[in-house]
Amino acid sequence: MDLGGWNWAIVDILLPSLLVVVLLWALLRNRSSRRERDESERGTREGYREEEEKRRSGDDGRG
């Protein structure tokens, strides 16, 4: 039984197709994480700004 044709199909068609699918999945997954990272950075900047405003006004929360 000659399996040379199947080996060619697996190596030259199936594996590159699988690689493309995995790369597309990774790209799409990283897009959403970039948005989440931007939101997190924005929240951090707002938190620092609020703390700086409290510090400047003298209301540091200490009794």
Q: What is the mean pLDDT of residues 49-61?
A: 86
- Looking at residue 62, its pLDDT comes to 61
- Looking at residue 43, its pLDDT comes to 95
- Looking at residue 18, its pLDDT comes to 94
Q: Where does the pLDDT of residue 60 fall: very low under 50, low under 70, confident under 90, or very high at 90 and above?
A: low
DSSP annotation string for the chain = ---HHHHHHIIIIIHHHHHHHHHHHHHHHHHHHHHHHHHHHHHHHHHHHHHHHHHHHT--S--
Q: Is the pLDDT of residue 53 over 60?
A: yes
- Per residue in 6-51, pLDDT tens? 888 888 888 999 999 999 999 888 776 778 888 999 999 999 999 9
